Amino acid sequence: MRATDRVREIVLPIIEAADASLYDVEHESGILRVMVDREGGIDVDTIGDLSQQISAALDHDDPFPNQRYLLEVTSPGIERKLRLPEHFQAHIGSDVNIKVRDPIEGERRFEGRLDIVDDTGIEITLASGDEPVTRRIAFQNVDTARTIFHWASEEQTSTKNKSTNKKASTR
């Protein structure tokens, strides 16, 4: 069993007891990253509590004997890495950035809307060009993938603030 799979086994009951979910576990460059989430987002206090509990559990049942590592318990963030099929499934309809191992029609990077996820891969509609273009990408060809967060434009923010100010002045 891989060490990260053992970490999943150890931390999952702790995370579920906090009414949260395990998003992913990564171990790279001496950092053990445990990403947790909750419907509606996870707060800093819960992450702090989970960090202490997970640290104690990993000290008791060390999945990396004779290795040093830094434990990081965190949220997946606004722009989330997509590694597992269930990550892709949860973000159908989202804008994504995909880098592939083997070029597809001469391209290695794609940005577009994630439309379809099945057992073998994904389909995205590319963001560029006049005509929508769909690309099929097998999971085994995905090098990196993440969601794209779009910040509200200045015009949208300005309109929202004017609307809020009107409501406040009529009270």
Note whether 99 and 43 are same-domain residues. no
Check pLDDT > 50 for residue 67. Answer: yes
Q: Which of 74, 99, 124 is the last residue of a domain?
A: 74
Q: Report d(CA 38, CA 40) in Å as an integer.
A: 6
Enclosing domain of residue 116: 85-147
51 assigned to some structural domain: yes
155 assigned to some structural domain: no
Q: Report d(CA 69, CA 24) in Å as an integer.
A: 17
At 128 the pLDDT is 74
Note whether 33 and 95 are same-domain residues. no
Q: Report d(CA 70, CA 30) in Å as an integer.
A: 6
Q: What is the DSSP string of 11-33?
A: HHHHHHHTT-EEEEEEEETTEEE
Tell me: the pLDDT tens digits for 72-129? Answer: 999 998 899 999 999 999 999 999 999 999 999 999 999 999 999 999 999 999 977 7
pTM for this model (two decimals): 0.74
At 167 the pLDDT is 45
As a whole number, the mean pLDDT across the chain is: 88
User: Residue 74 in contact with residue 47, Cβ under 8 Å?
Assistant: yes
Note whether 127 and 68 are same-domain residues. no
